[in-house]
Amino acid sequence: MAVRKTKYEMPEQTPQERIKNFNEVPYGYSKHVAVEEAKRCLQCKNKPCMNGCPVEIDIPGFISCIAQREFDKAAEVIKAKSNLPAICGRVCPYESQCEGECTLKKIGEPVGIGRLERFIADYERNKGVKIPKKAKVTGKKIAIIGSGPAGLTCAGDLVKMGHNVVVFEALHDPGGVLIYGIPEFRLPKEIVKAEVNYITKLGVKIQYDVVVGKTITIDELTKEFDAIFIGTGAGLPNWLNIPGENLDGVYSANEFLTRVNMMKAYKFPEYDTPVKIGKVVATFGAGNVAIDCARTSLRLGAEKSYILYRRTEAEMPARIEEIHHAKEEGVIFHLLTNPIRFIGNEKGFLTEVECLKMKLAELDESGRRRPVPIVGSEFKIKIDTALVAIGQSPNPLIPNTMKGLKVGKHGNIETDDNGRTNIPGIFAGGDIATGAATVILAMGAGKKAAKAIDEYVSRDRNTVE
């Protein structure tokens, strides 16, 4: 039987409908469609898809379970490696990871691995998640700093190994970027809550309102814990550094998204935190965060939502699916456009942005063609709000409050491939170590660090006893 060349479609809200609400865009596969999609998998012996998975899920294994309608077993296969599958199934860049390696790509579209993972995670969550048996208690205490994807993964794996794990979170909700950064319509917060709930049911304790470095120091933690994992993320927003950036109406992507997502400003005044965007919103940057900002703006009622980017669509770092969704919803892309100053009125509110037209020149160190300004091409666009989404740097709070920790030139904590820092017993992973990257890479780093931490505390025990 010939294999179907295209993925089965995942039904979703129409663009006209969805820009009026914050509900999730796709609805997910039905059981029937999931089984059919799973049957497309060729079950390659060499499992190329797994090379693309930072958390090493047995992808053909769980897909074959789905094809045989053994959904519970499929969930077990995924959960053996991933503690947060409903999140991965929504925000992973599968096209460049597992699906990017799929053999079916030679004849058409890859297997919808992301969609299938999501299907299983949702199936399991709706049914009631099974809590696996815990390993024998080791008596070792491990502190995890930050409850983002790296920290939660690391915590989940360590607790399953029998360690006593405490997560310290600076904010009032768990999830890090999953809560403050990624919008509701892409990753519903109920799902983040459910996945965190699973982690806590495994036995992980989470302490909120603790800013490590301020409320408690790493040095104090080392007295109480056998090992520490730092997963504090890339929280520091980058700026354009152009005149007028402190005008009212200019937000960092972080501030804008935190207001809307974590503080639920889209429900103001039911929730107390406001956000004000006016009619025309310009987002600067073209990564996933920028696309999130532009699409969120439409849902908040912006009449026009622009993306201003200094290169072309080919260089955009955002996932193709996100760009596609944004276009469908009416986000307007101003490409080869670089802002040079913000202009405001006498009350200090933003009214315009002045830009330069760009052209692409030779390749730069990132392997992309370098944008250069076209002389004399200045022009202005009237805008009410500017969202600066040109990346984040590692949060300096811990490196700044801890002596002796080796930090790279971008402020990232230096580690080896297994998350070991230069200080024995202190590990780091995710964006704090790599600079801003993806949720799944952070999860992969958390996973590797968990192994290294387990080795470290076990070796410690062997020498002590």
Contacts to another protein by CB under 8 A? 170-172, 180, 208-211, 214-216, 235-237, 239, 245-249, 251-252, 254-255, 258-259, 263-264, 268-274, 276, 347-349, 395-397
Structure tokens given for 435: 């600079």
Nearer to another protein, 62 or 180 (CB): 180
Nearer to another protein, 110 or 146 (CB): 146
CB of 237 to another protein, least distance (A): 5
How, if at all, do strands 164-168 and 141-145 pair? parallel
CB of 213 to another protein, least distance (A): 9
CB of 264 to another protein, least distance (A): 8
* 3-state SS, residue 67: helix
| CB of 346 closer than 8 Å to CB of 368 | no
DSSP 234-256: --EE-----TTTTSBTEEEHHHH
Nearer to another protein, 133 or 347 (CB): 347
CA geometry: angle 393, 397, 402, nearest 5 deg? 125
Nearer to another protein, 373 or 411 (CB): 411
CB of 233 to another protein, least distance (A): 8
Cα-to-chain-centroid distance, residue 364: 26
Contacts of the segment 327-330: beta carbons below 8 A, 24+ positions apart: 328/15, 329/15, 329/18, 329/19, 329/295, 329/298, 330/15, 330/19, 330/298, 330/305
Dihedral sign computed on CA atoms, order 271, 274, 279, 282: negative
Residues with Cβ within 8 Å of residue 408, at least 6 apart in sequence: 414
Nearer to another protein, 61 or 237 (CB): 237
Nearer to another protein, 179 or 286 (CB): 179
CB of 300 to another protein, least distance (A): 13
Structure tokens given for 357: 């037209």
CB of 177 to another protein, least distance (A): 10
- The H-or-E segment that residue 352 falls in is strand 350-363
CB of 385 to another protein, least distance (A): 11
CB of 176 to another protein, least distance (A): 10
| Cis check: omega of the bond before 174, within 30 degrees of 0 | no
2 DSSP assignment: P
Compute the distance between CA of residue 79 and CA of residue 392 in angstroms, rounded to an integer: 31
Nearer to another protein, 65 or 263 (CB): 263
**CB burial readout 244-267, b (16+ within 10 A) else e:** bbebebbbbbbebbbbbbbbbbbe
Nearer to another protein, 98 or 388 (CB): 388
Compute the distance between CA of residue 158 and CA of residue 446 in angstroms, rounded to an integer: 10
CB of 297 to another protein, least distance (A): 17
Nearer to another protein, 72 or 209 (CB): 209
Nearer to another protein, 26 or 235 (CB): 235
Nearer to another protein, 270 or 365 (CB): 270
Structure tokens given for 300: 């908040």
CB of 253 to another protein, least distance (A): 9
Structure tokens given for 289: 């965060």
Compute the distance between CA of residue 410 and CA of residue 393 in angstroms, rounded to an integer: 7
Compute the distance between CA of residue 250 and CA of residue 320 in angstroms, rounded to an integer: 27
Residues with Cβ within 8 Å of residue 338, at least 6 apart in sequence: 308, 310, 355, 356, 358, 371, 373
CB of 216 to another protein, least distance (A): 6
Nearer to another protein, 97 or 254 (CB): 254
CB of 281 to another protein, least distance (A): 15
